[in-house]
């Protein structure tokens, strides 16, 4: 049976992390209106060419797709500060491989706003030859931004690295989507890049990071974000 979507009250994407109001955008970006701060994580730019170097000839369009997505979300929120939360490039030479046209496009996006590159495990040496400042981690308004989530509970930590996704089963069908993972105290960002895979929030890798009873997965839909409680989530 194929029923069309019924219209329902929709979730606006507004959440609170460690007392800061934020908006979960269905693109996978997180916006803090009071700070004028937009956070994206795990762009993995030049992943296609990184794999091609090792003989897997992925389409070379991932950087274009990711930048396009970034451009659109920047146009929506017009943030004062942009923070790229690590693994901005898929490997250490990614920034050097960036085709000239994309470099121009990226620099145009950076123009007129503060841009912060946080170091990631794929790009420990943050792209020094691009504009913007490079940091290992950074604290803003009581929030701590770092690439890899720390093992101990740190209230107000915003991290990336794990590429969270969540899965539900509804009416006999399974839906898996990238998600913001949060228990209200800390948050892990979904990966923003076009070629980035994802890891279920029920995987061992997340063990101990969240207070599970307060955990929500904010799953990315096509036009909005859907808040799903931990009781509905499935592994795999």
* Rounded least distance, CB 133 to another protein, Å: 27
The reply on whether position 55 binds another protein by CB under 8 A is yes
Q: Which of 57, 78, 96, 141 binds another protein (CB under 8 A)?
A: 57
Q: How many CA atoms lie within 13 A of 30 on its CB side?
A: 28
DSSP string covering 173-189? EEEEEEEEEE-SS-EEP
Between the CA of residue 25 and those of 31, 62, 158, 166, what are the distances in Å?
A: 8, 20, 15, 16
The reply on whether position 41 binds another protein by CB under 8 A is no
The reply on whether position 64 binds another protein by CB under 8 A is yes
The reply on whether position 9 binds another protein by CB under 8 A is yes
DSSP string covering 59-123? -TTHHHHHHHHHHHHHHHH--SEEEE-S--BSSTTHHHHS-HHHHHHHHHHHTTSEEEEEP-SS-
Q: Is residue 32 classed as helix, strand or coil in its secondary structure?
A: strand
Strand 173-182 and strand 164-170: pairing?
Answer: antiparallel
Question: Applying CB under 8 A, which part among 30-38, 106-114, 129-137, 197-205 lies near another protein?
Answer: 197-205
* Rounded least distance, CB 179 to another protein, Å: 10
* Rounded least distance, CB 87 to another protein, Å: 10
* Rounded least distance, CB 142 to another protein, Å: 17
User: Which x/- pattern, by CB under 8 A, does the window 132-171 give for another protein?
Assistant: ------------------------------xx---xxxxx
Site residue total, another protein (CB under 8 A): 68
Q: Which of 33, 92, 99, 155 binds another protein (CB under 8 A)?
A: 99
Q: Which of 32, 38, 182, 209 binds another protein (CB under 8 A)?
A: 182
């Amino acid at each position: 049976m194929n029923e069309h979507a019924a219209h329902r009250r929709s979730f606006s994407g507004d959440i609170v992390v460690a007392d800061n109001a934020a908006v979960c955008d269905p693109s996978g970006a997180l916006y803090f209106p009071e700070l004028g701060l937009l956070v994206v994580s795990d762009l993995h730019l030049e992943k296609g060419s990184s794999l091609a170097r090792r003989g897997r000839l992925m389409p070379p369009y991932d950087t274009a797709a990711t930048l396009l997505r970034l451009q659109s979300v920047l146009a929506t929120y017009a943030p004062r500060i942009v923070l790229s939360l690590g693994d901005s490039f898929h490997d250490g030479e990614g920034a050097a491989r960036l085709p000239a046209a994309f470099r121009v496009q990226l620099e145009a996006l950076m123009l007129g706003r503060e841009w912060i590159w946080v170091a990631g495990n794929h790009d420990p040496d943050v792209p020094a030859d691009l504009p913007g400042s490079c940091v290992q981690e950074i604290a803003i308004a009581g929030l701590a931004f770092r690439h890899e989530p720390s093992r101990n509970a740190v209230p107000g930590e915003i991290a990336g690295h794990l590429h969270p996704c969540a899965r539900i089963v509804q009416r006999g069908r399974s839906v898996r989507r990238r998600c913001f993972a949060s228990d209200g105290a800390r948050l892990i960002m979904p990966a923003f890049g076009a070629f980035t895979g994802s890891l279920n929030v029920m995987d061992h890798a997340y063990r101990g990071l969240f207070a599970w009873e307060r955990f929500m997965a904010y799953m990315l839909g096509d036009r909005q974000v859907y808040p799903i409680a931990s009781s509905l989530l499935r592994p795999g």
